[in-house]
Structure 1
Amino acid sequence: MASVAKKFQPLTSARVKHKIQELTKPEAGVVYAYNKNPRNLERLGYAYKPQGYHLEKPGRSYWHKLELIISQRYISAYIRHFQNGIVISASTKEWAIKKQLYKTNDTCAYINLGRVLADRCLKSGLTEMYCDHNTNSDGNTKLNKFIKILEENGIQLKEKDRFIPPEVWDHDYESLVKD
Structure 2
Amino acid sequence: MASGLRLLLGQIRRPIVAANQTARCASRAASQPERSAEENEAVSPTFVNRNPRNLEQLALAVKDRGWDTIWPRREFYHRLEFSRTQHHVTARVFSSSSPVPVLSCSTREWALKKELASTNCVAACQAVGEVLAQRCQQAGITRMVYRAIPWTYRSDAVQSFRTAIKGGGITLSEPRRKYIGT
Residue of structure 2 aligned with 1:76, choices 66, 90, 96: 90
1:163 and 2:159 are equivalent in the alignment: no
Larger radius of gyration: 2
Equivalences for 1:93-132 in 2 at 5 Å?
Answer: 93-132=108-147
Taking structure 1 as the reference length, what is the TM-score of the superposition? 0.70
Question: Does residue 153 of the first structure (1) align with residue 168 of the second (2)?
Answer: yes
- Counterpart of 1:9? none
Task: Structure 1: give runs of 5+ residues left out of the alignment.
Answer: 1-24, 168-179
User: Match of 2:65?
Assistant: 51
- Aligned partners of 1:96, 1:164: CA distance in 2, in Å? 44
Query: May I ask how many residue pairs the two structures share in their alignment?
Result: 139
Match of 1:60 among 41, 51, 74: 74
Distance 2:96 2:65 in 1: 11
Give SS of 1:77's match. Answer: strand
* Residue pair 2:63, 2:76 contacting (<8 A) in 1 also: yes
Q: Which amino acid aligns with 1:121?
A: C
User: How much has 1:37 moved relative to structure 2?
Assistant: 2.7
SS of residue matched to 2:87: coil
Runs of at least 5 residues in structure 2 that lack an aligned partner in the other structure:
1-34, 42-47
**1:60 maps to amino acid:** R
Cα pair distance change 1:163/1:107, threshold 3 Å: same
Provide runs of 4+ in structure 1 moved above 6 Å.
Answer: none
Distance 1:26 1:48, change over 3 A: farther
